[in-house]
Amino acid sequence: MDGRLTFLGTGTSMGVPTVGCGCAVCTSADPRDRRLRPSVLIRWNENGPSVESGSGSPHARVAVIDTGPDFREQALRNGLTRMDAVFYTHGHADHILGLDDLRPLSFTVFREGGPIPLYASRETSALLERMFAYTFSPHATYPTRAKVRLEPLGERTLVHGVEFLRIPVMHGEMEIAGFRFGRGAYLTDVSAIPEASFALLEGLDVLVVSALRHLPHPSHATVEQAVAWARRIGARTTLLTHIAHELGHEETNRTLPPGISLAYDGLELAVDLGPVNL
Ligand SMILES: [Zn+2]
Ligand SMILES: [Zn+2]
C-alpha cells in the first residue's frame, strides 16, 4: 500500500531558532534551518485510490507520531482536516504538549464515529492523564475538552489497514517507543538501540533516526552514532531528525555519506505501508 511520510518538525526540544540565540544556524536564511519540534505525519488511502489523489478522498487516513508544542502550526501548514490515530514515543514536553490542539480535529472525528485513539505506553499514558487531567479525568467537566481516548500501546497496532510496530529504543535511562510502518521506521530521541530491536528494522526503505549534534549528550545520539546505525540497518534512505542548532543543514549534509541526510520541516517522501513480515 502506498503512503506518504511528511516531516512536521525536525528540531530538538527547544526548536531552531532557539529562543535568545544569535548563532549562525539560528539566524540562517535557509528555511531548512528552521525546525519546529519533532513529529511526522503518515498518510494513506484505505481501500481506495492512490494516496497521490489527495486528502479530500473519503478513503484518506492520517496518523501522527507525537504532538509537540508546535502541533497547531504544523496542522495548519499541512492542511490537516482529520486524524485517525496518534502514537506517542514518550512523555517529554517537546513530544506531547500539543495534545490539546487535537481538539478541533477530534470534534470532526467524533461526529464520524468516536474519539481519536492515542496510543501510548503505560508510563506515557499516566503522565498524559496527570498533565491533561481536565481532559482525561473521569470527573472532568470542562465541556470542550478533546474527544480523545488513551489506548495501550501493544507490539502491533492496526490503524485502518496499516500496521504500526513498536520498536523499543533507549532515551538515556528510559525505554521509549520507536515505530515501524511498512518499509519505513521513525526512531526519535534515541541514545541506544537494543540488539533485539535491530531485527525489527530489517528490509527498510526509509529510516528516520534522531541525531542531535556532534557533541555527545547523555540521552541523544550524535550524528556519528546515527550514521553508524544507519549503515548497520541499511535502509535505502536515512533521514536524521531532532536536530539542534549546532547543525547547519547545507553544511552538515555535505559531510554525510550517500543515502543519509538531515531531514527538514515539510520534507515529504513515499513509503510502502504494506504488511511487515519479520
Ligand atoms: Zn525530544
Ligand atoms: Zn525526550
pLDDT in tens, 77-124: 999 999 999 999 999 999 999 999 999 999 999 998 899 999 999 999
Q: Using 50, 70 and 90 to split pLDDT, how confident is the model at 53?
A: low
Q: What's the 236 CA to ligand 1 centre distance in angstroms?
A: 25
Q: Is the pLDDT of residue 145 over 70?
A: yes
Q: At residue 54, does pLDDT exceed 70?
A: no
User: What region does 21 belong to: left with phi over 0, alpha with psi -120 to 50, or beta?
Assistant: beta
CA of 48 from ligand 1 middle (Å) equals: 35
C-alpha 52 to ligand 2 mean position (Å): 33
Residue 180, H or E segment: strand 174-181
Q: What is the DSSP letter of 177?
A: E
Local structure of residue 41 (DSSP, 8 states)? E
Q: How many angstroms does the Cα of residue 95 sit away from the middle of ligand 1? A: 6
Give the single-character DSSP code of 220.
B
Can you tell me the distance from the alpha carbon of 276 to that of 201, in angstroms, rounded to the nearest whole number? 10
| 90 Cα to the center of ligand 2, angstroms | 7
Three cell numbers written together for 7: 516531516
Mean pLDDT of all residues in 31-57: 86
Residues 6 or more apart in contact with residue 138 via CB below 8 angstroms: none
Give the per-residue pLDDT at 121: 98
CA of 177 to the centre of ligand 2 (A): 11
147-183: buried (b, 16+ CB within 10 Å) or exposed (e) per residue? bbebbebeeebebeebebbbbebbbeeeebbbbbbbb
Q: Is pLDDT at 39 greater than 70 in this prediction?
A: yes
Contact 42, 3 (CB under 8 A): yes
pLDDT digit string (tens) for 190-209? 999 999 999 999 999 999 99
Q: What is the pLDDT of residue 277?
A: 87
Contacts of 176 (CB under 8 A, 6+ apart): 89, 90, 121, 168, 169, 170, 189
**What distance in angstroms lies between residue 13's CA and the mean position of ligand 2's atoms?**
8
Q: How far is the CA of 47 from the centre of ligand 1 (A)?
A: 34
Distance 57 CA to ligand 1 centre (A): 33
Task: Return the pLDDT at 128.
Answer: 98
* Ligand closest to the CA atom of residue 241: 1
Q: Which ligand is nearest to the CA of 210?
A: 1
- pLDDT band for position 55 (50/70/90)? low
Q: Tell me how far the alpha carbon of residue 111 lies from the centroid of ligand 1, in angstroms.
A: 33
The answer to whether 264 and 7 are in contact (CB under 8 A) is yes
Ligand closest to the CA atom of residue 11: 1
Residue 189 Cα to ligand 1 middle (Å): 5
Instruction: Assess whether pLDDT exceeds 80 at residue 150.
Output: yes
Report how far ligand 2's centroid is from the alpha carbon of 222 (Å).
14
- Is the per-residue pLDDT at 216 higher than 80? yes
Task: Using the predicted structure, report yes or no on whether residue 187 has a pLDDT greater than 80.
Answer: yes
Residue-wise pLDDT for 230-240, tens only, equals: 999 999 999 99
